[in-house]
A and B are shown apart, each in its own frame.
Chain A
Amino acid sequence: MDLTIKVWRQNNPHDQGRFETYQLSAASQDMTFLEMLDALNEQLIHEDKDPIAFEHDCREGICGSCAMMINGRPHGPEQEVTSCQLNMKAFKENDVIVVEPWRAQSFPVIKDLVVDRSAFEKIMEAGGFVDVDVSAVPDANTYPVGKDIAEESFDAAECIGCGACVAACKNSSAMLFVAAKVSQYALLPQGKKEGLTRAWNMVSKMDELGFGSCTNTGSCEAECPKGISLAHIARLNREFLKAGFHNLAAEKR
């Protein structure tokens, strides 16, 4: 199939960046989106041009590396897929496809479609773990967890940390990302002790790192490749309020 691809090209973080237009005839509907980009890159290399930098690794939608805005939507037009799983069947002959990096103050562009998502790492370091040492733990069956609770927790834990929620949000908020982690732990008996501070610490870190705030538009949920629900954000808000009251009480003491 013949395609026109408009891609954001930016050599380094300080470069202005611009869109470049490429014609690609080596594409096929049997390809995935990233295989199409592979083909375009092969073409560019043969033309002695610098190929388009983009992140990818597992190519089965679980590592969360791939991240790009395709025709104005994170991971492209299909629901609940990552860019690597996006089928070229979603496009037609002679389509024009616009590919851009995630845009957010907290995700500066490194090169072309590669952005720096280390802000997510810092949020995780602010509380995205259960405060338990290796080894000194009770038997796994000590604390029973209801099947439905475990499933809800797993549902949140499915987050792959790709950043589509931030990219989709008009406020560039990372609430869904934070909520996924907070909600996973809030539902389980493990990590209850530090649960009171987790939501507070992670949200504060998120604010500090320049992510916007949540105005409940719901576009994150719609664009999340793992379909993580806004219900987890509600749970995060609950945990956050609890933490706020706890902090107040602690200050008084």
Chain B
Amino acid sequence: MSITGLFLILFLIVHLTVNSMIVFDDTGVLFNQAAHFMATDPIIGIIEPVLAIGLIAHFVFASIITYQNQAKRTITYSGLKRYKQKDSSVGSTWTSRNMYILGAVILIFLVIHLINFFWKMKVSGDPLLEEATGLGGDIENAYALVTTKFIEWKWLVAIYVVGAIALGLHLHHGVWSAFQTLGWSNRKWRTIWNVIGIIISVIFAGGFAFIPLYIMIQSMV
């Protein structure tokens, strides 16, 4: 879990960097260039399936572990439910106890995300992609696709914000937990990883939520 998780964070860094081009250049040129590079670079081409495998592995491991772990306690504690003990799991965060649920939310989001963009760019195509980019050649206008989608369907923005928050919460526990599992932690580093985890989760949740919001707000003013 920890290794695949950390690997996926690498992907997130690249993805957020590319996406941020949307914000930095309103003409879309930067983003289109970056998207084109990502689509055509041979190294990226090799990494892509690895990423897919990493993601699937992360999901499969998570499912197996969650299923196994849940089977270890067949009778649950009644005291908790009956008397609504507030802090039933003192010392553990809500996110740490619900990583699988958060993961599932992210997965659902991911499917929507892929259908909306990845599928269109790679497989089915979309008229918006054909629009002129000003870069010449056969570079697709990914910028037009992305911005138009968010402007046309406001509910999509909401989905993206929820997805980003789920990702942030997932990372909030995921980062320090990954280092703990790898044994890369002690009393001091535990605090440091926790802080880093919070920073990372804020950056990713904030970043990924900001972009659709930015596009939407831009279109409204």
A residues sitting closer than 8 Å to B (CB atoms) are 6, 19, 69-73, 79, 96, 98-100, 103-106, 168, 170-173, 210-219, 221-223, 229-231, 233-241
Q: A71-B83, A213-B65 are in contact. Are A241 and B182 (CB under 8 A)?
A: yes
In the complex, are the beta carbons of B182 and A215 less than 8 A apart? no
Q: A98-B82, A216-B180 are in contact. Are A231 and B187 (CB under 8 A)?
A: yes
Interface residues on B, range: 35 or more
Residues of A within 8 A of B80 (CB): 72
In the complex, are the beta carbons of B73 and A234 less than 8 A apart? no
Residues of A within 8 A of B72 (CB): 104-106, 171-173, 210-212
Q: Say whether B137 faces chain A, with CB atoms less than 8 Å apart.
A: no
Q: Which one of B77, B83, B96, B189 contacts A217 once the chains associate, using CB atoms below 8 Å? A: B96
Compute the total of residue contacts between A and B using a CB distance below 8 Å: 124
8 CB-based A-B contacts, threshold 8 Å: A98-B79, A100-B77, A105-B72, A210-B72, A215-B65, A215-B99, A218-B96, A229-B187
Max chain A Cβ within 10 angstroms of own Cβ: one of B68, B79, B80, B182: B79
Q: Which one of B83, B90, B99 contacts A219 once the chains associate, using CB atoms below 8 Å? A: B90
In the complex, are the beta carbons of A234 and B186 less than 8 A apart? yes
Q: Which one of A168, A219, A234 contacts B184 once the chains associate, using CB atoms below 8 Å? A: A234
Q: A213-B68, A219-B92 are in contact. Are A72 and B182 (CB under 8 A)?
A: no
Inter-chain CA distance A235–B183, complex, in Å, is: 6
Q: Lowest 10 CB-CB distances: which A-B pairs, in order?
A: A222-B91, A238-B183, A98-B79, A237-B183, A72-B80, A171-B69, A72-B79, A217-B92, A172-B72, A234-B185
Q: Say whether B40 faces chain A, with CB atoms less than 8 Å apart.
A: no
Inter-chain CA distance A96–B85, complex, in Å, is: 12
Inter-chain CA distance A236–B181, complex, in Å, is: 9
